[in-house]
Chains A and B, each alone.
Chain A
């Protein structure tokens, strides 16, 4: 009899502990990239910030989760999310069939285009194009057989353009804005052209661990919520001079 009571108490305590653990704040690992202004970068005070970083923070608040950032390079993002090293990545991924096959992707939170920057007279394919490894632009250049100058991040591209190491680059819209506003670029006289190609434009989404569909649903709801309550627009205003759509 005493043994039965002891077992009952043990099961009860176990359930209670499990229940408490379940009710506790969830810890999420979130992949972020550095040196990709205005989306994700370290500001003057040394803190990680940027449009995607701040959006990620609001999403974590909405999910009532404590988010721990894991720094990745862009070319590692898809692999890391697919392998479950991170729960989701606060990186704008242009939705492609290949990415959709490997990851869960949230609903699009904006749409992006790509911009070609080059020294005057340099046309696509004529010079080595600086691209970030793992980006859609790198794949685009590769598909067209363009000579590439691969970098780990966008700031490295900015530096290469500023020093004359690179003659041209193909960047996502938001990074293009940052490049255009970079004071170092004014002396370069770079010409910009929006590339109207469907391969370089489209929906931007967040990549989610393919084994965590519940998290995907929660993130989708959270994106809707922060768009509805204005938090998304406030972040937009802080980092980009027009509305992302």
Chain B
């Protein structure tokens, strides 16, 4: 079982608005995720900074105070052992007791035990201190100093550790920020690419096609794109081109109907008169020779009467074709009426026109009209010519008509050139 193949020109399309909305939504979702992802680190940095400010810094200061009190304990102990008076010793011992009992001292087991040890020692030493006492004291004093040193740096160490962690979190946040920026830049680039490829470029193509749209040119072709709106415009352009072509063909048909004779395809008399007038004017303007003529098929009525109008029409068409083949491109000819044909021959003297007429006569003799049943018809024509140089068209045609009349009167199948009244 096979799935029927889809037609080749069917392509899935999407509305641009929806595509852009979808892209924007995806971008917004990604951006929100990125921001949340980043915010986690920023929050952690904030928490760490808060902890540093609210806990570690006070803790560090307290450590330093504790170290300072240990140092004070050492000094007071020294004073206990070296006091010159019982009162002085008493004062110092009092402070030793107070310092040892301080809650801060008791917080840290190390300082609590050392302070208690110092207090016990100083309590039991009797004045004056012996060298052995002093030796013990030196050891205790040294331990007090070292512990004070340790406490002083503990805060710094803890701050260092926390700052290190915070820097790590900030670095991570920076990387995430960079990643987010890169992601956004990438998405923007992709967005612009999509807009450029699927909207701007098709629009540019549409503009090019529209500016060069020619009904006689090829049908506009567009590569299938995914955007529905663009496709709609492109389809409309194709339909528009078809309409233009159709209108142009109608126009040509109407023009042909208005200017030509329906049977022979030659110009009609009205159009011929306009063309001839132009040729006459041009010839007059440049002082060039020009000749007009009127030809009439001999005994054409007999053809119609004996062989029928279809045969007559066939004769007319055959003669018209012969005229088209024989006359030059610059010559104008029309069906003047019935079986009469009028000519205007630019750059042609009556003599040359006469030669042309004879050539036409010869060709008609050589290629007579052949009826559908195979019969050959012997057809001749009479031709009146008149020099139209420097004359009006109507007047020239009247003279040519006069020549035609003469030709008919003289026995037909001949050419008569009517001279101008002035003898030229």
Contacts and interface: CB of A to CB of B under 8 A. Distances in A.
A176 B99 CA distance: 12
Interface stretch (A22-30, A52-60, A147-155, A237-245): A237-245
A217 to B, nearest CB: 14
A173 B61 contact: no
8 contacts: A111-B102, A177-B95, A180-B91, A194-B97, A194-B98, A227-B58, A242-B95, A245-B104
B103 interface: yes
B69 A242 contact: yes
A115 B99 CA distance: 12
Interface in B63-118: 65-66, 68-69, 72, 87, 91, 94-95, 97-105
A186 interface: yes
Interface residues of B, number: 23
A75 interface: no
B154 to A, nearest CB: 15
B159 interface: no
B62 interface: yes
Question: Which of A113, A201, A241, A242 neighbours the largest number of chain B CB atoms within 10 Å of its CB?
Answer: A242
* Closest 8 pairs between A and B when the two form their complex, measured CB to CB: A245-B104, A243-B65, A194-B101, A111-B103, A242-B72, A186-B87, A180-B94, A243-B68
Interface string A171-192: 0010011001100001000001
A180 B103 CA distance: 20
Q: How large is the interface on A (under 10, 10 to 19, 20 to 34, 35 or more residues)?
A: 20 to 34
Interface string B299-310: 000000000000
A196 interface: yes
Interface string B46-57: 000000001001
A227 to B, nearest CB: 6
B97 A192 contact: yes
B58 A224 contact: yes
A230 to B, nearest CB: 9
B195 to A, nearest CB: 51
A228 interface: yes
Contact of B72 (A115, A173, A196, A241): A241
A201 B62 CA distance: 18
Given A111-B103, A194-B101, A233 B65 contact: yes
Contacts of B105: 245
A193 B119 CA distance: 13
Given A111-B103, A113-B103, A180-B91, 13 more contacts: A113-B98, A173-B98, A176-B94, A177-B95, A193-B97, A194-B97, A202-B103, A224-B54, A233-B65, A241-B72, A242-B98, A244-B65, A245-B62
Nearest to A191: B90
Contacts of B87: 186
A241 B104 contact: no
A245 B98 contact: no
A245 B97 contact: no
B106 to A, nearest CB: 10
Interface in A200-245: 201-202, 224, 227-228, 233, 241-245
B97 A242 contact: no
A233 to B, nearest CB: 7
The SS class assigned to the A binding surface is mixed
Interface of A: 111, 113, 115, 173, 176-177, 180-181, 186, 192-194, 196, 201-202, 224, 227-228, 233, 241-245
Given A242-B69, A243-B66, A228 B97 contact: no
B98 A176 contact: yes
The SS class assigned to the B binding surface is helix
Contacts of B98: 113, 115, 173, 176-177, 194, 242
Interface in B309-353: none
Contacts of B91: 180-181
Nearest to A194: B101
Given A180-B94, A228-B57, A245 B102 contact: yes
Given A228-B57, A228-B58, A228-B61, A241 B95 contact: yes
Nearest to A230: B61
Contacts of B61: 227-228, 233
A94 to B, nearest CB: 12
Contacts of B68: 242-243
A193 B95 CA distance: 11
A174 B103 CA distance: 13
Given A111-B103, A224-B58, A243 B97 contact: no
Contacts of B103: 111, 113, 201-202, 245
Contacts of A244: 65
B69 A245 contact: yes
Contacts of B54: 224
Contacts of A227: 58, 61
A104 B377 CA distance: 137
Contact of A113 (B66, B69, B72, B101): B101
A47 to B, nearest CB: 27
Nearest to A245: B104
Nearest to A201: B103
Given A228-B58, A245-B65, A196 B99 contact: no
A119 B97 CA distance: 18
A196 B101 contact: yes
A192 B72 contact: no
B318 to A, nearest CB: 102
Contacts of B99: 242
A177 B76 CA distance: 13
Contacts of B72: 241-243
